[in-house]
Chain A
Amino acid sequence: MTNLKLELTNVSKAFGPKVVLDGFSMKVEKGKSMVIIGGSGTGKSVTLKCIQGLLVPESGSIKVDGEEVVGMKEKDLERVNSKAGMLFQGAALFDSMKVWENIAFGLIQGRKMNKNQAKEIAYDKLKKVGLTSDVGEMYPADLSGGMKKRVGLARAIATSPELIFFDEPTTGLDPIMADVINDLIVSCVKDLGATAVTITHDMVSARKIADEITMLYKGKNIWCGDVKDIDNSNNPYVEQFISGKSEGPIKVEI
């Protein structure tokens, strides 16, 4: 009996000639919070989309609760996805719907909950992400970037999923609001027992929410370990990334 919620083995994904993931592997245990770090454009968002079946990798295996997701039938994928929630990097709110309808979407369409009950939950989640209730009746086009992000977050956690993916939850937020969101993510994992995979560039946030950290570089997992070991990883790539220096093994082509 394994305790793995999510297991990626040798996942490879290319777009035409451009190889993005090149044998990426990662394991996340049930109830743990995994943070993925890595440079811009290294394929972090692509990884999450592969797990959700939105992109199909050329090779490798992705298992959610021991079930192989790659090549899964539409119907089964829907069932697996209903266990998960996802915050997209660009929020991806439905702009034809009000904010509360966005948040309640998974409850009404996925869980077949009645409208009033779903609306109540939606407003509750809205409060949790630090937005006032008058925002609920607004449309996504009327929100600021940071507000959209928080509505996306509320939508991702509305169904209280077992597995949550956050793609850069704190970018575009002020430090105080970022901390509120960090606390929220921690409470989702600690209180609800969810498993979380978070992508972030923000090391303050990573230290706060992570149990484990994985670093993605050139399509591979080049370091993985406990969050408390991050400062003595003895890995030059990780050291350069967390110190944010431009000199080191990671070369930025200008």
Chain B
Amino acid sequence: MNFLSNIGKMTVKFIKNAGELALFAYSVITHLFRPPFFFKNIFTQMIEIGFYSLPVVGLTTLFSGMVMALQTYSGFSRLSAESAIPMVVLIALTRELAPVMAGLMVAGRVGASFAAEIGTMKVTEQIDALSSLSTNPIKYLVVPRIIAATLMLPFLVFIGDVIGIQGGYLIGVHKLGFNSATYIKNTWDVMESFDIVSGLIKAAVFGFIIAMLGCYNGYYSDGGAQGVGKATTNAVVSSSILILIFNYILTELFFMA
């Protein structure tokens, strides 16, 4: 019986959270286009997300590019298709690896800090204090974070594309014995702008998901330090899962339609 009641409880909780999130998202979106706009907050968040995530995103995409080159070589050399390596690295990185890797890293770094910051403000009544000083907390805290994350993730992914391809090149030329000019030519020749653009669109969607779930979990946290801790974990886990699900949906939309 206990087992059944747990399933019931979880179902109710899931539906409640989904409804809450939908209402939250609705209220954020209505505030997105209505003044006043807090440009200073948007700018601060853009620096926080875009600039300070560069090292993690750079490192993850660099190694992803390097490992892609190695793996494709070990596979493709059986078919004597080594010349396809630059293309595989390019497509894998720009379409999939860079946006997903950057999304997951930023979810861990930025999504967690959104949930912790806003959650702490919530449990220490700072959010109430904002309203009482007639400043809308959604507008002041949430909207700038959503805008900044949605704009900065594509930027990070673009940098990640460049670094990752560079990683593939380094392995290709210095370890696998490619001619430098050939590797670059093979990359350029197959590059299509939609490879890059599709990755950047994905990145914008992931940025929106990360900020929305980070802020939502913080905004509805309660119960002191423990509640904030739980909100932070939930923000990272749920946004990571959603990123992977949306990655599939977007890929199907872009490349199968």
Contacts and interface: CB of A to CB of B under 8 A. Distances in A.
Nearest to B131: A54
Nearest to A84: B132
A66 interface: no
B124 A106 contact: no
Contacts of A109: 133-135, 140
A54 B131 CA distance: 8
B59 interface: no
A90 interface: yes
B124 A90 contact: yes
B132 A110 contact: no
Contact of A78 (B121, B124, B126, B136): B136
Interface string B125-143: 1101111111110001000
A94 B131 CA distance: 13
A195 interface: no
B125 A52 contact: no
A110 B135 contact: yes
Given A88-B125, A90-B125, A92-B126, A52 B133 contact: no
A81 B130 CA distance: 10
Contact of A95 (B126, B130, B133): B126
A185 interface: no
B138 to A, nearest CB: 9
Interface residues of A, number: 23
A49 interface: yes
A81 B134 contact: yes
Contacts of B126: 92-95
Interface string A70-92: 00001000110110111010101
B155 to A, nearest CB: 24
A8 B143 CA distance: 34
A110 B128 contact: no
A109 to B, nearest CB: 5
Contacts of B140: 109
A92 B125 contact: yes
B32 to A, nearest CB: 15
Contacts of B128: 49, 52, 54, 88, 92
Contact of B133 (A49, A74, A79, A105): A105
Interface string A94-128: 11000000000110011000000000000000000
A53 interface: yes
Interface residues of B, number: 14
Contacts of B131: 52-54, 81
B116 to A, nearest CB: 12
A73 to B, nearest CB: 12
B224 to A, nearest CB: 12
Contacts of A95: 124, 126
Contacts of B136: 74, 78
Contacts of B125: 88, 90, 92
Most chain B CB within a 10 A radius of its CB, from A79, A85, A92, A155: A92
Contacts of A74: 136
A161 to B, nearest CB: 10
A110 B133 contact: yes
B129 A78 contact: no
Nearest to B117: A96
B210 to A, nearest CB: 20
A92 B133 contact: no
Given A92-B125, A92-B126, A52 B132 contact: yes
A90 B101 CA distance: 41
B161 to A, nearest CB: 34
Contacts of A86: 129, 132
Contact of A81 (B121, B124, B132): B132
Nearest to A159: B133
A47 B248 CA distance: 49
Nearest to B129: A92
Interface of A: 49, 52-54, 74, 78-79, 81-82, 84-86, 88, 90, 92-95, 105-106, 109-110, 155
16 contacts: A53-B131, A54-B131, A74-B136, A81-B134, A82-B134, A86-B129, A88-B132, A92-B124, A93-B129, A94-B126, A105-B133, A109-B134, A109-B135, A109-B140, A110-B133, A110-B134
Given A82-B134, A92-B124, A110-B134, 20 more contacts: A52-B131, A53-B131, A54-B128, A54-B132, A74-B136, A78-B134, A78-B136, A81-B132, A81-B134, A84-B132, A88-B132, A90-B124, A90-B125, A92-B129, A93-B129, A94-B129, A105-B135, A106-B133, A109-B135, A109-B140
